[in-house]
Amino acid sequence: MLPGLKAGFTLDARLEADSEQLMWLGLCELRVMNDRRWPWLILVPQRPGVEEIHDMTPLDQAMLTFETNMVAQALKRTTGCTKINTGALGNIVRQLHVHVIARSEGDSGWPGPVWGHGMREPYQKSDMRRFAQTIKAAL
């Protein structure tokens, strides 16, 4: 079994298709959304069958909050963004996952939400690698 992988846990196919694995945190797998329009990270708690934050144990809830804050601070520090958007919607992908997105005045779609805005613009491999290394160094 891979480090950090929890027995019975399977990543939703849409999350896997739309993002790249960055690293394992304590509870979550940290992923990069493959859309270069915004610096966008996704935390996926490694718990099978969990759809809502309130479905998790209090300890897992606390750990998710800690990891989300840690990722948000690193993203803000590395991007110098105006605002961090954090959300766990789950209307399309039911598996619990938390989006942490760096937003800045003047970015594509500001100040509206990123969802449903235009077409995704995938990263070039070298740009994705550079962004991933920057985030890893900040964590």
Q: Cα–Cα distance between 104 and 131 in angstroms, integer? A: 17
Mean pLDDT, the chain, integer: 93
pLDDT (0 to 100) of residue 2: 44
Q: Which two tokens stand for residue 24?
A: 């394992």
- Show the low-confidence residues of the chain (pLDDT under 70): 1-7
Q: Which two tokens stand for residue 56?
A: 């998790």
CA 115 to chain centre: 14
- Class level of CATH domain 13-138: alpha beta
pTM: 0.93
pLDDT (0 to 100) of residue 115: 87
Residue ranges per structural domain of the chain = 13-138
